[in-house]
Structure 1
């Protein structure tokens, strides 16, 4: 009855995780997502759900299961395929192609980076305040409209952190997106920059004040300070990571470093004295 009725139309959010979308459908029918999947995959009293549902799970559906979900949510396949990045990414094997099958995948090895969808944007899009999870690239962590950081936290839905006290974090995402448009090496430069700022974060710098102030400004009321320091690293270091990535992606700067090293790969900062000075200028220190 549930599958044939299609009484509720539930549209996906752009970039939404398939499991999050199914969770919103289930909520509309007063079900758990596991119960919904049992119904979607049921044939002759047997369900085709494989794997364990965990806090970092994503679900993959075969074609037969996708047909049932499309009928249930009353959204054409083309719309689901356009909005949901993993809608057709994997065909979990079942006893036959005609039998609907769902498979849970867990962990960073198989599930791409994700975080909570901005609640304000979800409410504007759906007319309801409901939690949702979306895939987030490194340059999509900030909702500029509602000025919040969309923080993925392993094992839970994630955290939405207000950035009223950290306008530089909002600006950093605009800079990051501009860098992504202009430089073909921006993504790899950002990965290197993240590794560098993560190492800086792990050090003890008694004279450093900016990150400490940003950490405190973004901390939600009632949060444990020690836990928050672990969770907030990427947020706190984001402006400096973007600035460093822009420097690393600069062809002019890379040529200057090569010239300073005499055309050889430098092994020490002393080999390229321009690096510390330009880093200091870029990061304002």
Structure 2
């Protein structure tokens, strides 16, 4: 390491831009001053208030990567293993007469390597010695920091919060542990864990949209109050957006687990036409079974209810309007279908809806 170089260790999955910000802090410099080490051909996305978005990512060319390695006092091979965007090639800066200059191009993190979330500051301090904000590529199915009881929030907006406190909702932390087993089951079934989770999330998100009209629902409102610090009622609309993914996580994992059950695949096969593809019936056996799988942790009126809204087209992809099912047919082949929201779950207490 060259004299005067202060080592800045990267976090696994960290955004390159996040590491640059931490490196600047290590030297006691503003990030804008350090970014002048690279010629940037465009500008990062900005928040409404004018500051740079937390999920703004920078892609570097080969010369730019060498500059980052020197700045951090870390071998390029180490950065390549830790930073998903480090080896991403952008022809606009990697080719041509100026390719030898240290250059960078700004992009949205989602366009580079997926969903970005704030890292747990306590974990960042433990691993790097810096109790600073960091941003990592973390899929929604892995947002629980079990060590510190936190749900890591999306870094895609002008969001003052970096995490939600899960100490009052241990079932969310337990669901993260359960997801590890569900993901292994998906791999053994030759299914992509991310696709299974996305489908389950789409289904449960539909239930969440209907939840304010569920007269007997108690579990989700109580959970939301706890992650909101005790009372979400004074700002329910905002907390329903901020807290949704953490609050519904146990139900998403339960539905994902059910989707991998061979018996569920058989139900999809039958309900989707048994070889003659058709939209899944909202009152079919599969939709009722999915309702039971997610409803086991909801109030009693939700258990066994059907999935109400119209099916999506049978294209095998997950859609925000309800998702699609892609399950293995026992004996070979795949069937595809989709379903939407729960038909008659329980309304939230009036105090929550006010």
- The aligned residue for residue 234 of structure 1 is 245
What's the counterpart of residue 255 of structure 1?
A: 266
1:80-229 residue pairs with structure 2 within 5 A?
Answer: 80-91=79-90, 93-94=92-93, 95-106=97-108, 108-110=110-112, 112-156=114-158, 159-183=162-186, 184-185=190-191, 186-203=193-210, 204-220=213-229, 224-229=235-240
- 1:93 aligned counterpart, secondary structure: helix
Q: Is the contact made by 2:225 and 2:231 (CA closer than 8 Å) also made in structure 1?
A: no
**Counterpart secondary structure, 2:10:** coil
SS at match of 2:132: coil
Deviation at 1:262, TM superposition (A): 6.1
1:61–1:222 distance in 2 versus 1, CA, 3 Å: farther
Q: Point out where structure 1 has 5 or more consecutive residues left out of the alignment.
A: 42-47
TM-score in terms of structure 1 length: 0.87
Task: Name 1:44's counterpart in structure 2.
Answer: none
Q: Does 1:52 align with 2:49?
A: no
Secondary structure (helix, strand or coil) at the match of 1:230 reads helix
* Distance across 1 between alignment mates of 2:150 and 2:214: 28
CA distance in 2, matches of 1:230, 1:70: 39
Structure that is richer in helix per residue: 1
Which deviations, in whole Å up to 9, do the C-alpha atoms of 1:8-66 show, x marking residues without a partner? 1111011111000000001112222222120x22xxxxxx1122233030011111011
Q: 1:161 to 1:282 in 2, by over 3 A?
A: closer
**Alignment size in residue pairs:** 274
Task: Provide closer, same or farther for how the CA distance between residues 198 and 35 of structure 1 changes in structure 2, counting only shifts above 3 A.
Answer: same
Superposed CA RMSD:
2.3
**Post-superposition CA distance 1:217-268 (Å, at most 9, x none):** 1103797332111111111111111111111122232114424666254531
Q: Which residue of 2 aligns with 1:45?
A: none
Alpha-carbon separation, structure 2, partners of 1:202 and 1:145: 31
**Within 1, Cα distance between the matches of 2:29 and 2:273?**
66
CA shift, 1:68, in A, is 1.2
Helix, strand or coil: the match of 1:269? coil
